[in-house]
């Protein structure tokens, strides 16, 4: 027995279209400026600019991957892929998170070499960094117009851009110190600070996406509260074999077995249970199996207790 609300599909389609649109425009802007910043970093000999351009390259790749993931996710479910291909969005988010960590490690490695032998850096790098800051603010604004709060794939792309934004701020500060005091060492210091922030973002995205891939419980859902709420309903004697996981970050799913009183109207109880789960815990896709008090089916079930 189960229930799936149509409003989830309608809401998902609206967010999905919005996410694709903001990602496409963000991708074009980031890719074009990445080329300009890479050239500027080479001309001015600035690691802060070069590392930021490298991060922008990963941004463009991340957004491109996210766009591919969204398009693949549009493919309909089949007999072999009964949930469709939407899980590919999480695979893309995992790759993006891992890319953030690798980029941070690369920046650390380059910065260490520059600490040993600080090179001469052209302070005019600050002009390019200021333009980069403006570009990143525009792209971040675009991405925040999408559903980044719930969609892990879009959130990973947004974190890439925030990392770039911080990189631009770091390059501006480093450029100011180089112009005013000749402190060339400010360049690798700014790079290290940005790398630390990037690695934390990458770790969080990787952790969240891996949790979904491992069928882990969504962080915003309290399984104990669900079990207690169901147990308090008239006619339900016990709740077991309760599982909550996500297909994607926007698609939480639940299944459970309910031991019910033999005299209860099971159709009415099923509707009430689905409504409770949907309205109080925001889970639209749930599969509920009902068993009588004397049933022995549950003895062969795995339980989360």
User: Residue 117 has what DSSP assignment?
Assistant: S
Cα angle: 184, vertex 43, 56; to 5 degrees: 90
| Rounded-to-integer distance, Cα 52 and Cα 190, Å | 11
Closest CA to 124 of 191, 48, 188, 59: 48
Retrieve residue 74's tokens.
Answer: 């549009």
Beta-sheet strand order (sheet of 2-4):
2-4, 285-292, 252-260, 236-246
| Mean pLDDT across 264-293 | 90
| Mean pLDDT across 22-38 | 82
Please give the biggest Cα pair distance in the chain: 84
Question: Does the model's pTM come out above 0.75?
Answer: no
Q: Model confidence at 10, in pLDDT bands (50, 70, 90)?
A: very low
- What is the tens place of the pLDDT at every residue in 45-99? 776 667 667 667 777 877 887 787 777 777 887 888 877 887 888 888 888 888 8
Q: Check residue 276 and give its pLDDT.
A: 94
- What is the tens place of the pLDDT at every residue in 207-245? 988 998 998 898 889 999 999 999 999 989 899 889 999
Q: Do the Cβ atoms of 47 and 114 come closer than 8 Å?
A: yes
- What is the tens place of the pLDDT at every residue in 123-157? 666 777 788 788 888 888 888 876 656 677 777 77
Q: Locate tokens 């390019």: which residue?
A: 128
| Rounded-to-integer distance, Cα 271 and Cα 4, Å | 11
Cα angle: 106, vertex 109, 112; to 5 degrees: 150
Q: Check residue 11 and give its pLDDT.
A: 46
């Amino acid at each position: 027995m189960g229930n799936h609300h149509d409003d989830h599909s309608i809401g998902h389609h609206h967010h999905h279209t919005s996410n694709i649109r903001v990602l496409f425009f963000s991708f074009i802007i980031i890719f074009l400026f990445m080329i300009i910043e890479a050239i500027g970093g080479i001309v001015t000999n600035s690691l802060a600019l070069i590392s930021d351009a490298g991060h922008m390259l990963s941004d463009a790749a991340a957004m491109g991957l996210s766009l591919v993931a969204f398009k693949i996710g549009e493919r309909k479910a089949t007999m072999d892929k009964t949930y469709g291909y939407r899980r590919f969005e999480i695979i893309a988010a995992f790759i993006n998170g891992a890319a953030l960590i690798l980029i941070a490690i690369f920046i650390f490695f380059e910065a260490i070499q520059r600490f040993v032998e600080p090179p001469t850096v052209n302070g005019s790098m600050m002009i390019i960094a200021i333009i980069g800051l403006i570009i990143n603010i525009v792209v971040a604004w675009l991405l925040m117009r999408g559903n980044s709060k719930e969609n892990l794939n879009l959130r990973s792309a947004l974190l890439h851009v925030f990392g770039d934004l911080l990189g631009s701020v770091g390059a501006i500060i480093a450029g100011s110190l180089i112009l005013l005091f000749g402190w060339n060492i400010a360049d690798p210091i700014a790079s290290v600070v940005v790398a630390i922030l990037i690695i934390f973002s990458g770790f969080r995205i990787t952790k969240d996406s891996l949790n979904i891939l491992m069928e882990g419980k969504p962080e915003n859902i309290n399984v104990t509260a669900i079990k207690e709420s169901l147990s308090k309903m008239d006619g339900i004697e016990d709740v077991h074999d309760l599982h909550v996981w996500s297909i994607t970050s926007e698609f939480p799913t639940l299944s459970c077995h309910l031991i019910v009183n033999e005299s209860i109207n099971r159709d009415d109880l099923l509707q009430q249970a689905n409504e409770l789960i949907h309205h109080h815990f925001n889970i639209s896709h749930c599969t509920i199996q009902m068993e009588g008090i004397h049933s022995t089916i549950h003895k062969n079930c795995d339980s989360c207790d």
